[in-house]
Structure 1
Amino acid sequence: MAGVNDDGATGDDETADDDGTAGDDGIAGESDATRPPAAASVALDGVGKTYAADGDGDPVRALDDVSFSVADGEFVCLVGPSGCGKTTLFRVVAGLTEATDGRVLLDGTEVTAPTTDMGVVFQEYHLFPWLTVEENVGFGLERSDRPAAECDRRVDEMLDLVGLAEFRDAYPKSLSGGMKQRVAIARALAVDPDLLLMDEPFGAVDAQTREMLQRELLDVWASTGKTVLFVTHDVAEAVTLADRIVVMAAEPGRVREVVDVDVERPRERGDAAFAEYVGRVRELIGAHP
């Protein structure tokens, strides 16, 4: 990664054919949104979340029977309308919020709390301002049982991976927004997690930096082979990044459809196929139940 500075829908709900091939709109998808891919790294099995009533109000069903899987090494994006429970689902997968029903499995083990097998990146950088870039990246490793020399090597590798080796002694206050998020990504990857879970990680940077970070994240993903579950409200971002897009519906949050993005990378936003996928996903988001 090169150094980055900050300067610089509605429609009827159509489904794919039962065999998962493209329908009349020419876009591949899954007729059964719960059909898991082979060798699942993370699997959501009937996940539901109900919040208790506030005062005299009724309980709120935020998520209902959410089921889908992410294959080992796959890049999956999660999109949906406001109020569909994307953030709640993110927190459930991360082990930060307990599901009311159903379960999340990471490599076959149920997730009940945060784990070092999962690297988490938030929209806000959550860097420690009193630590250098190098110290922030190595923070999680300090709590592992790895030898110090191995931890040092791992930090060096991550700094090289995200293009921040020359900034290792800098403090967060001197970094641009894009560089801060790179530090957060490097820190999440440093512990070598099985899953990289990302919640709107580029939402706080300008559009130009956002597109650059998207390209560079794909480079990191390709070089590490990590499994990625990426939450975003930006449909074009999802089409740029994802192997598959899980489209959610709201009230309560649930899976409407899973769309396979069958376009070779790198994807150009001006291409007709790219625009077709963007339109299809936006149509699904805007469709009524």
Structure 2
Amino acid sequence: MAVEDPTETPRVRIDGVGKQYDSAQGPVQALDDVTFDVEAGEFVCIVGPSGCGKTTLFRIIAGLEAPTNGTVSLDGDPVDGPGPDLGLVFQEYHLFPWRTVAGNVGFGLEKTDTVDSGERRRRVQELVDLVGLDGFEDSYPRDLSGGMKQRVALARALAVDPGLLLMDEPFGAVDAQTKKMLQDELLDIWTETGKTILFVTHDVEEAVKLADRVVVMAKEPGRVREVVDVDIERPRNRSDDAFGTHYQRLLDLIQE
């Protein structure tokens, strides 16, 4: 997908982000000088070995915790807490069990004064259709499969039309077949909506399949090792030589 003019302000800027925690053994540097941009409309994945600080970085970008140093900005404005410009999707679905599919999707819209009830219903139905859950509007989470629950979580994140969709291993809890289906559906939604997506994953194959660029992190402390362009035409097939080349390059960087 084409992105906006890179000379303009990036959708997301992570600039010199560091994070230090105190422990019984002394200070622990979880992140050190993490710096990269995400342009509007880009799909960027973050990968790295266990303990490299991917989830910590996710929480800082999401405004769920503050960096020790450095800044995160969205469209030039500093991120200092969760807000409507950030749509969050986690591995755990975090759906309200007492709310229907439509009730979960529309939750964020109920917190705004700018959307009346008629527009809210229209928007909810539009998103339910977008994620392929037409006919399940009145179902409760207990009646849904894992893949369907994650579709609800995605629709809920999109409901307030955020500038950034931030996803933390969202398909890590589903089986391989469902994962592939959700990946394909996410790419369709990304193409249709033009959203900027920052996607944290431990799955290198998933990163090659989805991303325009992949941020590879190293650990001790967590830092950016390299940013790799994935210049393969979509749809991408695991059996293609170019796919295998990118996969091996990312794997080698992670294992160094």
Shorter-normalised TM range: over 0.9
Aligned partner of 1:261 in structure 2 is 230
Work out the CA distance in 2 between the residues paired with 1:280 and 1:103: 30
RMSD: 1.0
Structure 2 residue ranges without an equivalent (≥5): none
Amino acid at match of 1:111: V
1:147 and 2:113 are equivalent in the alignment: no
Instruction: Name the counterpart of 2:17.
Output: 47
Taking a change above 3 Å as real, the CA distance of residues 124 and 38 of structure 1, as seen in their structure-2 partners, is farther
TM-score (norm 2): 0.96
Tell me how far apart the structure 2 counterparts of residues 64 and 37 of structure 1 sit (CA, whole Å).
25
Read off the aligned partner of 1:128 and give its amino acid letter.
F
2:163 equivalent among 194, 203, 209: 194
CA contact (8 A) 1:38 1:71 kept: no
Verify the 8 A CA contact 1:72 1:226 in the aligned structure 2.
Answer: yes
Contact 1:75 1:242 in 2 (8 A): yes
Q: What SS does structure 1 have at the residue aligned with 2:19?
A: strand
Q: Residue type matched to 2:132 in 1?
A: G
SS state at 1:165 partner? coil
Provide the rounded CA distance (Å) in 1 between the counterparts of 2:189 and 2:183.
Answer: 10
The CA deviation at 1:152 is 1.1
Q: Residue 120 of structure 2 aligns to which amino acid in structure 1?
A: C
| Equivalent runs, 1:1-289 vs 2, <5 Å | 37-39=6-8, 40-52=10-22, 54-55=23-24, 57-145=25-113, 146-287=115-256
Query: Using the alignment, how far apart are the partners of 1:38 and 1:254 within structure 2?
Result: 25
Greater Rg by CA: 1
- AA aligned to 2:117 is A
The structural deviation recorded for 1:151 is 1.1
Mark the runs of 5 or more structure 1 residues left unpaired by the alignment.
1-35
CA displacement, residues 220-254 of structure 1 (integer Å, 9 cap, x when unaligned): 00000000000000000000000000000000000
Find the aligned partners of 2:66 and 2:182 in 1 and give their Cα distance: 31
Give secondary structure in 2 for the equivalent of 1:98: coil
Secondary structure of the corresponding residue to residue 246 of structure 2: helix
- Offset of residue 107 of structure 1: 0.5
2:155 counterpart letter in structure 1: A
Provide the C-alpha distance between the structure 2 equivalents of 1:83 and 1:175, rounded to a whole number of angstroms. 33
Distance 1:209 1:111 in 2: 33
If asked which structure has higher relative contact order (CA below 8 Å, sep 6+), I would say: 1
- Percent identity, aligned pairs only, is 67
Rounded Cα–Cα distance in structure 1 between residues aligned with 2:108 and 2:120: 10
In structure 2, the CA distance between the partners of 1:114 and 1:280, relative to structure 1 (3 Å rule), is same
